[in-house]
Structure 1
Amino acid sequence: MMGEFDAIRPYDDAEVPAVLARLLSDPAFLDILTHFRFPRQAKTFGWLLKPLIARRLRREFKDVTNVATLQDKVEFYVDHTIDRATDGVTYTGVEQFKSGSAYLFLANHRDIVMDPAFVNYAVYHAGLPTPRIAIGDNLLQKPFVSDLMRLNKSFIVHRSLVGRREKLASYQLLSAYINHSIRHDCASIWIAQAEGRAKDGDDRTDSAILKMFHMSRKDEPFGETIKALNLTPVSISYEYDPCDQAKARELYIRATKGAYNKAPGEDDVSIAQGITGYKGRVHINFAPPITELFEDTKQLAIEIDRQILGGYRLFPVHYLAYAQWADADPELQVPAAADVFPAAELEKARAEWLRRLRECPVEQRPFLVLQYATPVRNQYRVKAGLSL
């Protein structure tokens, strides 16, 4: 029997063996793995390496018959990638979660793959079930990517629909699925606070997303629906963004030409850069679930922003960028980096920040500064009780 959520839901345990078998014989998937594992030899010896990698993976995953076992296996690779590309991951707020409860993690959005991966990492290492992850269909161009993501608890958000009626039906289904997942399946959800990454470092909640949560529960007051979902604002802070130069370039082109057209395969490059690029330290903060009853999406969005921006961890680089930002707010009492951080930590950050500035074309530099300075302004506005 076709379930109402079959078009978007993650794969369930019974589907795992067949999907794994399909993945491990997909030439495009094996090609990417070969290039990732053996970047130098892949061009010349790819034909030889591909079957070897496939055989090794089949052996390694032969006993995997459900999603939980798969995630245990994958966690080893995730931890390895995190070790290689960060100076450590810290998280706060996980102790408040109760096992047997499900949460709607609403997070700021800076990186396509790593945002949900870091939330998963924090939740997994706290010994709790990992959330189901919302992912836009614009990122699922290749069948193996869709298989891979749905195996790893991802569900699909249809963003590429054009017609108003189709969009509405898609949001309705998404709303029903999120409510069903939390209330009925007792399975948590991760979703970004807005469509697309905050490339200028300005993390804001899109009230259309909050409206979508309520769409399938119109018979219930808005505030009650939100309360029942255990909506938990999440702040993900990267010390350094591996895609910051690409974002500065895009912001510069938008500012000077009025529009920016993505090149084919640009998302794939961002994904690879985001996974493997150096991030410095990473911090994830989980605010308490929202229990206050909000009458409308605007008021709720303001409160979520307050929690996300207030819970964001500012690193030395953020203060260094703020100090040279042309749009810094003189009214805000922002201390100098030297008054907040020890000298050795600050020195290391200054060297890395200057390196990034040097790598950035002069005309694009203000947009690099903007990305790192904006979270400082936002957090100090929250601290001062000013409107955002």
Structure 2
Amino acid sequence: MMDEFEAIRPYSDAEVPAVMSRLLSDQAFLDVLARFRFPRLAEPMGWLLKPIIAKRLRLEFSGINSVDALQDKIEPYVDRTVERATDGITYAGLERLERNRAYLFLANHRDIVMDPAFVNYAVYHAGMRTPRIAIGDNLLQRPFVSDLMRLNKSFIVHRSISGRREKLAAYQVLSAYINHSIRQDNESVWIAQAEGRAKDGDDRTDSAILKMMHMSRKDESFAEALSALRPVPVSISYEYDPCDQAKARELYTRASTGSYTKAPGEDDTSIALGITGYKGRVHVQFGQPISQASEDAKQLAAELDRRILAGYRLFPVHYLAYAMWADRDPQLQVPDARAMFDRQEIATAEAEWSKRLAACPAVQQPWLVLQYAMPVRNQYRIKAGLPL
């Protein structure tokens, strides 16, 4: 394993048994499992449950000595978790990809854990190798979380570094690692199109992320370096966002006070809610790989935006939200939801949407509406040939 990537790379096959052993002795990890599996008993009976859980997992995972074998083993659990909180997952566009080639999956970002999980789900079920996943170190506060993510092909993006020189050095290593993964190891990479979730529903690619990919390849032009990574625009559409109320509250707070400070443990709450909360239907759209990247990072970002936004699946709730949005675009011919979907689908969406609006304080409601209306505006602007 290459030393220069030691601090950020996922675990290798050889490391799997030792990391598994460490995880199954980690009291914080066993505590989380006990609470998840036995919510009522975890507090009074944790002392008894945790050793039983650890013993059962040791038996179940004995003999697992590679990352692929581990992914095969946990896939049914992941599938159940993924499917339990949705009304069905669909995906399209994977036929555009060659089975034995590596790609750079650039995706819109709405949910911390589930965005890459749904991409993994689609890729795995299509019989392709799952990608390596970029994850911010701000989400790896506890050692067992870091172990779990790195076992599952995640590599670390050092976001919490503050010094300019240190940041530059970290991005240089990250750039080299992504290039090495795709070009030398022939392993695909998933990365969000921008740092942080698009809480207002406005999915945009940050050109700085594209420039970062070029940092370690200065002997090539920007277009050459990016084309070699074969970027694939990925659009992940959730019918309902389990974190929409929290996002509305944050957007309202920022708009009314000028800033927002996360409460302790807020990321953990968002992760848990994102995994277990109701999402309705979910669609993952894989776009055509970009074989000829633009020489200009902003132009490439704009091209990715057009493809990601055009690939976004709009559900009835999006049209319902757009119809009541104060900032509707008068230039756009957006049809009424009733012209797009059948009566039963509309009735189901209206019931769920009313419930969400009722749960949201009146002053925060415009920010809830915004999250669902924005993808409609963006997609219809593309259809009309208007600038985004």
For 1:163-219, what per-residue CA distance to the aligned partner results, in whole angstroms no more than 9, with x for missing partners? Answer: 000000001000000000000000000000000000000000000000001000011
8 Å Cα contact 2:91/2:285 also seen in 1: yes
Distance 1:82 1:13 in 2: 25
Alpha-carbon separation, structure 2, partners of 1:257 and 1:279: 30
The CA deviation at 1:72 is: 0.7
CA distance in structure 2 between the partners assigned to 1:5 and 1:293 by the alignment? 27
Q: CA deviation at 1:387?
A: 0.7
- 1:77 — aligned with what? 77
Q: TM-score, normalised by structure 1?
A: 0.99
Task: Give the whole-Å Cα distance in 1 for the aligned partners of 2:2 and 2:316.
Answer: 53
In the alignment, which residue of structure 2 is the partner of 1:356?
A: 356
User: 1: distance between equivalents of 2:164 and 2:20?
Assistant: 36
C-alpha deviations, 1:84-126, integer Å up to 9, x for none? 1000000010112112200000000000000000000000000
Query: Amino acid of the residue matched to residue 213 of structure 1?
Result: M
User: What is the aligned partner in structure 2 of residue 165 from structure 1?
Assistant: 165
Deviation at 1:2, TM superposition (A): 6.1
Alpha-carbon separation, structure 2, partners of 1:231 and 1:321: 32
* Cα deviation code 1:29-88 (max 9, x no counterpart): 000010011111111111111111111111110021100010011111111012210000
Q: Which amino acid aligns with 1:170?
A: A
1:293 Cα deviation after fit: 3.4
Q: Alpha-carbon deviation of 1:291?
A: 1.8
In 1, Cα distance between equivalents of 2:9 and 2:131: 13
| Structure 1 CA distance for aligned equivalents of residues 53 and 183 of structure 2 | 41
The offset of 1:385, in angstroms, is 1.0
CA distance in 1 between counterparts of 2:76 and 2:115 reads 18
Structure 2 Cα separation of the partners of residues 255 and 293 of structure 1: 37
Shift of residue 292 of structure 1? Answer: 2.5
Distance in 2, Cα, partners of 1:102 & 1:290? 13
> Counterparts of 2:369 and 2:46 in 1: how far apart (Å)?
41
Which segments of structure 1 move beyond 6 Å, counting only runs of 4 or more? none
Distance 1:275 1:73 in 2: 19
Which residue pairs with 1:216 in the alignment? 216
SS in 2 for 1:236: strand
What is the rounded CA distance, in whole Å, between the counterparts of 1:356 and 1:218 in structure 2?
A: 49
User: 2:109 — aligned with what?
Assistant: 109
Alpha carbons of 1:63 and 1:335: their partners in 2 closer, same or farther (altered >3 Å)? same
| Equivalent pairs, count | 388
Is residue 2:179 matched to residue 1:175? no
* Mapped contact 2:97–2:289 kept (Cα < 8 A): no
Give the Cα separation in 2 of the matches to 1:172 and 1:151. Answer: 23
CA–CA separation in structure 1 for the residues paired with 2:338 and 2:203 = 26
Q: 1:344 maps to what in 2?
A: 344
State the identity %: 74
The one-letter code matched in structure 2 to 1:324 is M
What amino acid does structure 1 have at the position aligned with 2:97? F
Alpha-carbon distance between aligned partners in 2 of 1:293 and 1:97, rounded to the nearest angstrom? 17
Kindly report the root-mean-square deviation, in angstroms, between the aligned alpha carbons of the 2 structures. 0.8
Q: What is the aligned partner in structure 2 of residue 14 from structure 1? A: 14
Matched, 1:200 2:208: no
d(CA) in 2 for partners of 1:293 and 1:45?
57
* Cα shift at 1:3: 1.4
Q: Secondary structure at the match of 1:62?
A: coil
For residue 4 of structure 2, give the secondary structure of its aligned residue in structure 1.
coil
Equivalent residues of 2:11, 2:153 under 8 A apart:
yes
